[in-house]
Structure 1
């Protein structure tokens, strides 16, 4: 059980947000990192090492058993699912931010570059949904249909008490590994702006301050199982394509073999929507509600449509370079972050340019290399590859990460702690803080960017990446 810090949990019935939102999930980590940066502190207290992080040579069956036991300690029980209150989760998110007036806000899909953009603007970032994990006692990684049956029963109970949610259940052994067989993953999307968000914006936004909605536009085959409950096998973050989760796929056989499953038992449910928004998309009701709220209170709303994570990562990295140089800094020192390994405050403290990889897949790292190849050279490149804790044919190897570091003209650094035991160990978020603290200070921090300036720069530099800013 993770300690709930006083002042970060709102009053009310149901489980505290700290207990509901999945440990290590993107929304949880990004809100925590952004809130700390706006307070002028780093992420040294964030994250905990996994059970096998100190023993990279542990046999695979022992490792899987330890990981599943650890997951069982933090997953929601069936009884706790009944106590989930999405309104309380929203209050927990907003209560993490300092109580002051802000010149804007970013809301929407989780993305590390969005957190960096929020810090450069001096504004909060708030998610349009959150992830949960719940126990699946008799589960199996190779039984997606049974996962759906178990998840549907949980969804019925959870949605009965949360009329403003849509639940997307994701069964993805390629990204979640053995956890797929002992827990179900539920991504909750608000279908309207939560009351706590509306109150926070009304109280904390300066007059006329913009609302910027970041929307993940990736799609994936989806099964609409019931009212406000949908299901998908696999996910974009796996680094694989939907066809790779077909029963006849050689890639699927590799994935299931690595997590103790059997492809002969793999019988996924038939999808009903061949190309719906993936699990981190923003619900149309949420966007419409945010737009209505902004219009009634005379706040401009801008939308940033992200076709793939690298588009926003590249746009924000280019923006940071321009911002730093405008303040008289070099803008020639790059840090390539990955997953939970980020620290926005240490980035601005050291005057670094941040490029965020969603995960350690070849697809993510390929895009980082392409961006670097087309960019003005950096004098130093520090790379923080987050070990995903699983094996997959879609993952980048350490040589590819070393190639990313090789773009530095003078300094080329790959974090050895992250690399030790890669890809099956785990590294806490605070590892990024430990690495970035060693960077020389480059103070003072540049004055905050104006939203109009940042959006114009993203519109200009992101156009060829497919980034749509409106």
Structure 2
């Protein structure tokens, strides 16, 4: 990212607004670098205290909170967030050239790999910001909602075209859930900067792919433009696990310094809605309307589980590599922010992306590998969540994923050394993949029609909806 790049107008620069270390921001940085022909070696560590590997849990939690507070917005700065300026900042990251298409929608590592194979930009339908919560507590979702409502009101006052989803999830954010408030800001229409970018940079008749995370979660309607969810599907847990009587919840809260007896969600029963990474209906309608008026076809891909898209794109890469005369038999299993699309292309690898280190994510990778043609080489990059949770996969399960390799079975030792509490920098994936043998030249860019047809053919088997 270029921190000195700012757009005209008031408000905070996009570099300041997007939460450091958030999945969406890392994916954007990886996509931009890949289209520039660069890897992710220069990605800055968001401040995760990876060096605290042998200290007591309270010390490690305090260090994590201090690191998060250094990059979070202040409550006053929430009023300075300008979603239109964020959109301008995002599109200004990409090289100025004509593109044969675009990928928009929910944050997903496979979506970025798909965009890079097509040679097109990936544009997120939302962005995440974190804001200070002085005196907060991981085990108090009610006060978190009260604090978040005030922040959302400030943000919405200057951004009427967005929806703010607040997520309070100690199972995925750990002690940070008690120090900062997480706000996912979702555009309810196509940002003007996106529309101008697509109009200026898309080739005539270039297709637009809209990828939507269709997972649901109990959502509390906190007010106009603001909704709240206690827990998240990204935690690897189910909604019932966030009930006050849940033994799993008590385990999670103990591990992050909380008390299960204090957990009181704002409402006992909430209706199901799309989870935080969903796409606002207004955004999708605006994309389809814009594309229809300019002769661009929109292809929608919906996934109810992130691993479905990961499997589809991995299969797509394998076929693409083989048609280019490569083996397509070397796999890298990435996790969270540990990915590097450019190095994947350079080495001629097949990428499979796990959303996080949750046991169900790793289970899905094992099932996909068990049903796939064997790979000669399997490299695994487990991202440490920085906390302990009953939902996490253990190192033996990650080793079982690597064991699917016929000749090479590699679990990154640096990432595994302090797992699951000691994190590694996001650039660690680059360091590992740079050691892979070079398999250049890279295949010619994947044709959008070929990619869409391949995803459509395997949609029913993978659990995708393509329309």
Aligned to 2:257: 260
- Could you give the per-residue CA deviations for residues 167-213 of structure 1, whole angstroms, max 9, x where no partner exists? 00000000000001111100000000000000000000000101100
Aligned to 1:179: 176
Aligned to 1:139: 136
Contact 2:21 2:46 in 1 (8 A): no
- Following TM superposition, the consecutive aligned residue runs of length 4 or more in structure 1 with deviations greater than 6 angstroms are none
2:217 is the counterpart of 1:220: yes
Aligned to 1:89: 86
Selected match of 1:159 from 149, 156, 160: 156
Aligned ranges for residues 91-130 of structure 1 at < 5 Å? 91-130=88-127
2:66 is the counterpart of 1:69: yes
Selected match of 2:374 from 355, 377, 380: 377
| Cα pair distance change 1:250/1:26, threshold 3 Å | same
Question: 1:50 offset after TM fit, Å?
Answer: 4.1
Contact 1:106 1:212 in 2 (8 A): yes
TM-score by length of 2: 0.99
SS of residue in 1 equivalent to 2:237: coil
Question: 1:261 offset after TM fit, Å?
Answer: 0.5
Question: 1:273 offset after TM fit, Å?
Answer: 4.4
- Could you give the per-residue CA deviations for residues 115-135 of structure 1, whole angstroms, max 9, x where no partner exists? 000000000000000001000
Aligned to 2:385: 388
SS of residue in 2 equivalent to 1:378: coil
Aligned Cα root-mean-square deviation (Å): 1.0
Selected match of 2:309 from 294, 306, 312: 312
Selected match of 1:237 from 226, 234, 239: 234
2:351 is the counterpart of 1:331: no
Question: 1:47 offset after TM fit, Å?
Answer: 3.3
Aligned to 1:251: 248
Question: 1:274 offset after TM fit, Å?
Answer: 2.1
Contact 1:49 1:427 in 2 (8 A): no
- Could you give the per-residue CA deviations for residues 91-136 of structure 1, whole angstroms, max 9, x where no partner exists? 1110110000000000000000000000000000000000010000
TM-score by length of 1: 0.98
Aligned ranges for residues 49-60 of structure 1 at < 5 Å? 50-60=47-57
SS of residue in 1 equivalent to 2:258: coil
Contact 1:140 1:180 in 2 (8 A): yes
- Could you give the per-residue CA deviations for residues 22-63 of structure 1, whole angstroms, max 9, x where no partner exists? 011122111110111011100001131645312311110000
Selected match of 2:16 from 15, 19, 24: 19
Aligned to 1:202: 199
Aligned to 1:5: 3
SS of residue in 1 equivalent to 2:313: helix
SS of residue in 2 equivalent to 1:408: coil
The gaps in structure 1 that reach 5 residues or longer are none
Question: 1:364 offset after TM fit, Å?
Answer: 0.2
The gaps in structure 2 that reach 5 residues or longer are none
Aligned to 1:322: 319
Equivalences, count? 467
- Could you give the per-residue CA deviations for residues 212-257 of structure 1, whole angstroms, max 9, x where no partner exists? 0000000000000100100000000000000000000000000000
Distance in 1 between residues matched to 2:99 and 2:382, nearest whole Å: 33
Contact 1:340 1:386 in 2 (8 A): yes
